Amino acid sequence: MLLIFALLAIGTTFSVASATVKETQSVLDRSASIEEGKQIFLKGCSSCHGLNAEGASIAPSLIGVGAASVDFQVGTGRMPMADMSTQAMRKAPVYNEEETAALAAYVASLAPGPAIPGESELNYERDGNAAEGGELFRNNCAMCHNFAGQGGALSQGKYAPTLMGVEPKHIYEAMVTGPQSMPVFSDKTITAEEKLSIIKWIKSAEAEPNLGGATMGRIGPVTEGLLAWVLGLGLLIGIAVWLTTRAR
């Protein structure tokens, strides 16, 4: 009896102690990654965004943009920008996942902002409703990103990028943070669940097979008209010319 009690006491003490160690460790990890993120920031970002991320005439302040914004901009390769053009384009990311996470942790430590959604918050297959997502998409997204999510033109060289092949996490982050020309769709106006519905709809549009033949980019009358007027009408004119020539 005494033995059992003793064992139990030792076991409990040990587990409590190890939990405390773990917690301390994770706090240490976080501050270490903030420190690492700060170093990366100073090297790679501060020339435009300022030494304290306060922003400058050529780049906005990053105080309060949150980890989600960093994860979107850096994770999709938009930041750092290749050149000072109208719009930062999607490209291969410059920083790896760990460095991106460190940068995000650093920027998030400056002021509170939208956090990176976790795996469990992104289960759109389970929590989303594609039909509802389609309705939300047509009302809120389709005017810029096209009715099939293929992207479209904005003013003066700016454009809304295609949504095909974009990570669910990045779609979510874009809605929460409103990168570049895109407005913010916060969880208060489009709830987290509705966002998952939108993602589910985008993913189902992506998987949609082309039953009706060539999609021609799914951008509707622009390409279809071009093809009909140039190829279709060209063929008809060619035949009309052939019809009136004499056989030899």
Partner 1 sequence: MSNELTPIDDSVVPAHAPRATDVNPVSEKRAEQQVAILFGLSGVGSLLLIYSYIFVKDTVFIFIPIMGNQNAQQLGIGIGMAMSLFFIGIAAIHWAKTLMPDKEIVNHRHEFRSSDEDRAELVQTVKEGVAGVQLGRRKLIKRSLGAAVGLFALPPVLLLRDLGPLPGKKLEMTNWKAGTRLLTDPGNRPILASDLEVGSVVQVLPAVEDLEHRPLSDIAKDPVLLIRLRPEEFQLEPDRLAMTHEGIIAFSKICSHMGCAVALYEQTTKHLLCPCHQSTFDVTRAAKVIFGPAARPLPQLDITVDAEGYLVARAPFNEAVGPSFWERNSQ
Among 106, 124, 172, 185, binds partner 1 (CB under 8 A): 185
Distance CA 20, CA 41 (A): 31
Span of 15-23, 50-58, 207-215, 218-226 interacting with partner 1 by CB under 8 A? 207-215
- The span of 10-18, 28-36, 71-79, 183-191 binding partner 1 (CB under 8 A) equals 183-191
Can you state the angle between helices 66-75 and 168-177, rounded to 10 degrees?
130
Q: Tell me the closest approach of the beta carbon of residue 156 to partner 1, in angstroms.
A: 8
- Cβ distance to partner 1 smaller for residue 96 or 245: 245
135 binds partner 1 per the rule CB under 8 A? yes
Stretch that binds partner 1, among 28-36, 38-46, 69-77, 213-221 (CB under 8 A): 213-221
Tell the smallest beta-carbon distance from residue 162 to partner 1 (Å): 15
User: By CB under 8 A, is residue 136 in contact with partner 1?
Assistant: yes
**Which of 42, 48, 81, 154 lies at the binding interface for partner 1 (CB under 8 A)?**
154
Q: Cα(201)–Cα(131) distance, rounded to whole angstroms?
A: 7
CB-CB contact of 75 with 181 (8 Å): no
Closest contact distance (angstroms) between CB of 127 and partner 1 is: 16
Residues 90 and 77 sit within 8 Å (Cβ to Cβ): yes
**Is 192 one of the binding residues for partner 1 (CB under 8 A)?**
no
d(CA 103, CA 65): 12
Tell which residue, 67, 72, 43, 41, has the closest CA to residue 54.
41
**Short-list 202, 121, 114, 122, CA closest to 161:** 202
Please give the backbone phi and psi of residue 53, each rounded to the nearest 5 degrees, phi first: 60, 25
Cβ-based burial of 247 (10 A; exposed 0-12, middle 13-18, buried ≥19):
exposed
- Binding to partner 1 (CB under 8 A): which residues in 13-32? none
Q: Which is nearer to partner 1, 65 or 103 (CB)?
A: 65
**Interface residue list for partner 1 (CB under 8 A):** 132, 135-136, 139-140, 143-144, 152, 154-155, 158, 160, 178, 180-186, 188-191, 194, 209-215, 239, 242-243, 246-248
